[in-house]
Structure 1
Amino acid sequence: MSLKQIQSSIAQDMRAVDEVIRSALYSDVVLIKQVAEYIINSGGKRLRPALVLMSAELFGPVQP
């Protein structure tokens, strides 16, 4: 299985991870919103959630 296939198999769940991060970092303060968007859009900190999602798929469907 190629990296692109792996990424596409968990893409929807990774978008859900982004939404959870967005909601956890929500603030009315503009600077905090900008920092949160930077964190989400930078693409970092995605290996652990990806590994968890792939591991969970081994045991059944993933429910975000």
Structure 2
Amino acid sequence: MERKPVLCPCCGSRLIDESVTTECNTYEIERNKQKLADFYVKCWKCKKDIAIVMTSKN
């Protein structure tokens, strides 16, 4: 199974891995402006809250 890294949009460190057949968008969660996402993680390096939205790959 091939995987590719999903990187933090703030510092560029690796957050998680995803399959090469999927696509996702990441963005920093801003205070008072939360959008819905599929996953929420905290970056281990910069400690910022990151939202991950899965999108279909065509």
Which one has the largest radius of gyration?
A: 1
More helix per residue:
1
TM-score, structure 2 length as denominator?
0.22
TM-score, structure 1 length as denominator?
0.22
More strand per residue:
2
